[in-house]
């Protein structure tokens, strides 16, 4: 079908100059329909649950040695975001499966692997892994506290599907 648009002649979605014509409105609709439904990216550093987890991580890391400084708060905040996003992604993949309806691996899976690797690097940088503590000459008591902290966060279920937060009080770690 040929259409005269302005001074250009368009034939079947291709202009006379040979460039394909696109409709920006239809592209915007396409982007909206591709918005992820897993809620992972809705978790941000500014959310109360993220700040609370970052504060709890800082408290655990400060417990054994004087190697954690206020400047490490940013790294703890990023780690908290990563850990909450990993938890959200895990819940989504548990519910939906790692393979989609057409047999393809869900696009979230490589993101989860990347977030897990990045989380590990942050944990190592903060001295929260056995190897990192050994390099720093720090006691291993911290590992048990951090593991307990993560187990409590998992049990508390602070994240529901879609990235919304649960209203239950997660409480403080018992000593």
pLDDT in tens, 43-63: 998 999 999 999 998 888 877
Buried b (16+ CB within 10 A) or exposed e, 135-145: eeebeeebbeb
pLDDT of residue 31: 52
Contact indicator for 55, 115 with CB cutoff of 8 Å: no
**Position with higher pLDDT, 44 vs 30:** 44
Is the pTM above the cut of 0.95? no
The pLDDT tens digits for 71-127 are 888 999 999 999 999 999 999 999 999 999 999 999 999 999 999 999 999 999 888
How many degrees, rounded to 5, is the angle at CA 37 between CA 33 and CA 40? Answer: 130
Q: Angle, nearest 10°, between helix axes 73-96 and 48-64?
A: 120
Grade residue 19 by pLDDT with cuts at 50, 70 and 90.
low
Q: Which long-range contacts (CB under 8 A, 24 or more apart) does 91-99 make?
A: 91/159, 91/160, 91/161, 92/38, 92/39, 92/40, 92/161, 95/161
User: 3-state class of 172 per DSSP?
Assistant: coil
């Amino acid at each position: 079908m040929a259409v005269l648009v302005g001074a250009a002649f368009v034939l079947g979605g291709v202009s006379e100059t040979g460039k394909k014509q696109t409709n920006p409105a239809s592209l915007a609709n396409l982007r909206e329909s591709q918005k992820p439904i897993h809620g992972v990216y809705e978790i941000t550093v500014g959310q109360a649950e993220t700040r609370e987890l970052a504060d709890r991580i800082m408290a655990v890391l400060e417990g054994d040695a004087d190697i954690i400084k206020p400047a490490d708060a940013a790294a703890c905040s990023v780690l908290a975001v990563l850990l909450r996003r990993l938890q959200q992604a895990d819940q989504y993949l548990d519910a939906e499966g790692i393979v989609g309806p057409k047999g393809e691996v869900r696009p979230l899976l490589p993101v989860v692997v990347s977030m897990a690797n990045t989380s590990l690097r942050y944990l190592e940088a903060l001295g929260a892994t056995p190897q990192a503590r050994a390099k720093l000459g720090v006691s291993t008591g911290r590992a048990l506290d951090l593991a307990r902290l993560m187990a409590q966060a998992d049990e508390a279920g602070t994240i529901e599907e879609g990235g919304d937060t649960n209203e239950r009080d997660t409480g403080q770690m018992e000593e």
